[in-house]
Structures are given as C-alpha cells and as structure tokens.
C-alpha cells in the first residue's frame, strides 16, 4: 500500500497488518485497527495512523503484550471488571462490552472497570458506542502523569479525559463531549514535536515550571490544566474512577505512553452506562431535544461533537491523505 489517499477500509487494513506484524494477535490488532479507522474518519489525526508506529514499537519492546487475552469477571450484578492482561485497552473493552451493556439494560445503571490496560484511543468513541445502543455513556480514562497541580512542578495526574454521549433516539448520538483535563491533548504536543512545530505558550510548562513554545521542552515538563484548579480537579476525578476504583496503576506509577522506556503502563478505564428507559425515556428524549435546540438555534453555536460529524461526511467521501514520511514509519515499524 503506497502513500497517498487511502480509503477508510485501507486505513483499517494497514493498521491491522502492521500490528500483527509487530506481534499482536488478530483479536488485539482488529480492535485497535477499528479505533484507528474511527479516529481518521473523524479527522483526529493524533489518534489515527500516526499512533500505529508507536503501537508497533510498544508491542516489540513489551510495553504492550500483543498476545494478551482479556479476563472478564462480574463480581456484582452492576459491576463488570476486565483485566486487560497488559494488552491493548481496545480489545479488553470489546471483551467486556456485551456483559456490560446487558447489565445496564437489566439494572438501569451499571459500570465496567478495566485494569492492567493501555490507552484506549479516542475516548469519545466508546461513549458514542453506548449512545448508539440507546444508552447514556460516561467514560473515564487516565494516562501517565503529565499535569502538575496548580502551583507545583511535578506531574501527578495524566491528561485524564472524560467523555459523555447521549443517544438521539435514532441509533446515533445527539452529542458527544470529549475533553481532557489539560488545555490540549498530549498527543497534539507529540504531533508538534514530531513535525518540529512550535506550540501555543498556554499549552504547557517546561521542567522549571515556565511557559514554553518548544514542544520537546513541554514533553520534559508538564501540561497546563484547562481552567487551572478546575481542570486539575476534573483530572483528579478521572484519576479516582479510572485508576483508584479500577485497580490500575496511578498516573504517577505508570510508564509513558510514548517511547520504549518502562514496562507496561498498567493504566485503567472506567465506563458507566445509564438506560434512559429506566428513568422515563420519553421525558428524557424530550428534555434533550429542548436542550439541544437551545444551543443550535443560536447562530454560530454547535453541539459538542458536531465538528467530528461534519468531518466524517467529508473524509468518508474523500479518503485519508497519508504522506510518504508517515507511510515509511508505518511500513518500517
């Protein structure tokens, strides 16, 4: 497969083939390849093909165990736990998914926690997957420490995003909120560093706690929390759910998601599902319609996730542009 414009199917095939070649099982590779396709479909380059060489590197150095088989248990009716076995989070999420969603429908509310995991790609896609099944999805995932508390210099929590998706009543998502505790996703800093581009001075601090426009200095320092104390508080909330409750390493204990240093990060995820039918689906749907209309009727305003939806129509039609440098990194991974 040559550099140029690829279809989304070709993106998925390329990712799967590369990961299997680096040591992933077909099951592990398939879940990650689907995630890669969705990221490229939505125009989220930082979580798409750009990450495939990193995944391959981590398979080869043992940071991710490509032959891991997730173990699913259900200690209580509304609780599903998945030990990812230090494999990819994507495959572990798939392994527990049916039991998790069945529990949500049976009980009205249920949760799934993953440990011994890895990053899960675009968190909003997992929340959206719940919305596509008619459920309200609230998802948390944490990451190796990169955000220092306000006033401090030593990172304590990761960029730690949360995602919320609401069903539209027609098999899709009415809105998807997907935001990290940092001003910008760390993957965007990594992308700027790889391309030798300066970053916004509001994005990160260097190792001395000073604002920087140097992406490499930012990676050696800390990310700035969005809204200062408010952002740090949101990230701390995610840490409690995705690390402490899930039984995963804390962010300060996890090895980096970039580079070969350290063993498996053993991070975690925590997903909550709510069935609107348990609380009055018609009432919920009507309320959400009024709420959405109050936003969209304002000129220039849009629902969270609308930009990704707009990207989908264009990218599904036009395909994904892959430059020669990225293709070389993937094929040599």
Supply the pLDDT for residue 88.
98
The pLDDT of residue 111: 98
pLDDT value at residue 4: 87
Determine the pLDDT at residue 16. Answer: 98
Catalytic residues: 46-47, 188
Write the DSSP symbol of residue 330: H
Distance CA 119, CA 88 (A): 7
Q: What is the pLDDT of residue 209?
A: 85
Q: Give Cα 213 distance to the centre of its chain.
A: 25
Structure tokens at 80: 């599903």
pLDDT score of 208: 86
pTM for the complete prediction? Answer: 0.93
Contact indicator for 46, 40 with CB cutoff of 8 Å: no
**pLDDT tens-digit profile, the chain (333 residues):** 777 899 999 999 999 999 999 999 999 999 999 999 999 999 999 899 999 999 999 999 999 999 999 999 999 999 999 999 999 999 999 999 999 999 999 999 999 999 999 999 999 999 999 999 999 999 999 999 999 998 888 899 999 999 999 999 999 999 999 999 998 877 788 889 888 999 998 999 988 888 999 999 998 888 999 999 999 999 999 999 999 999 999 999 999 998 898 999 999 999 999 999 999 989 999 999 999 999 999 999 999 999 999 999 899 999 999 999 999 999 998
DSSP code, position 64: S
Distance CA 24, CA 121 (A): 16
* Pairwise CA distance, residues 252 & 156, whole Å: 6
Which residue matches tokens 């804390």?
A: 250
pLDDT of residue 195: 87
- Of 119, 67, 65, 73, residue with least CA distance to 96: 73
Q: What are phi and psi of 307, to 5 degrees?
A: -65, -40
Q: Locate 9 and state its tokens.
A: 């199917």
The candidate with the shortest Cα–Cα distance to 118, out of 24, 257, 296, is 257
- Domains (range + CATH), the chain: 4-182+225-280+308-331 (3.30.1370.60)
Contact 236, 257 (CB under 8 A): no
Q: What is the pLDDT of residue 194?
A: 82
Q: Is the dihedral of CA 37, 39, 44, 46 positive or negative?
A: negative
Tell the burial category of 248 from Cβ atoms under 10 Å away from its Cβ (0-12, 13-18, 19+): buried
How far is residue 126's CA from residue 235's CA, in Å, rounded to a whole number?
18
Which pLDDT does position 177 carry in this prediction? 98
Could you tell me which of 23, 91, 18, 88 has the C-alpha nearest to residue 53?
18
């Amino acid at each position: 497969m040559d550099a140029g414009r690829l279809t989304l199917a070709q993106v998925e095939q390329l990712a799967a083939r590369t990961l299997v070649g680096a040591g992933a099982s077909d099951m592990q590779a398939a879940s990650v390849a689907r995630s890669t396709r969705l990221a490229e479909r939505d125009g989220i380059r930082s979580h798409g093909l750009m990450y495939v060489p990193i995944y391959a590197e981590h398979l080869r150095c043992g940071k991710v165990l490509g032959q891991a088989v997730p173990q699913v248990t259900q200690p209580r009716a509304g609780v599903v736990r998945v030990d990812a076995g230090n494999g990819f989070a994507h495959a572990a999420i798939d392994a527990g998914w049916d039991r998790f969603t069945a529990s949500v429908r049976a009980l009205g509310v249920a949760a799934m926690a993953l440990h011994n995991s890895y990053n899960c790609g675009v968190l909003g896609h997992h929340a959206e997957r719940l919305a596509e099944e008619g459920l309200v999805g609230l998802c948390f995932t944490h990451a190796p420490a990169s955000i220092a508390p306000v006033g401090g210099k030593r990172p304590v929590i990761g960029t730690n995003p949360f995602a919320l998706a609401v069903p539209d009543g027609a098999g899709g998502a009415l809105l998807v909120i997907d935001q990290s505790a940092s001003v910008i996703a760390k993957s965007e800093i990594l992308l700027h560093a790889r391309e030798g581009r300066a970053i916004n001075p509001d994005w990160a601090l260097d190792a001395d706690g000073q604002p920087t426009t140097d992406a490499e200095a930012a990676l050696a320092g800390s990310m700035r929390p969005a809204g200062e104390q408010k952002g740090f508080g949101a990230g701390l909330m995610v840490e409690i759910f995705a690390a402490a409750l899930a039984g995963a390493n804390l962010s300060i204990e996890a090895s980096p998601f970039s580079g070969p240093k350290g063993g498996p990060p053993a991070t975690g995820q925590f997903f909550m599902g709510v069935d609107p039918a348990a609380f009055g689906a018609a009432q919920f749907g009507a309320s959400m319609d009024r709420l959405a209309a109050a936003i969209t009727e304002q000129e220039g305003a849009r629902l969270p996730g609308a930009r990704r939806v707009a990207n989908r129509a264009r990218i599904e039609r036009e395909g994904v542009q892959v430059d020669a440098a990225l293709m070389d990194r993937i094929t040599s991974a």
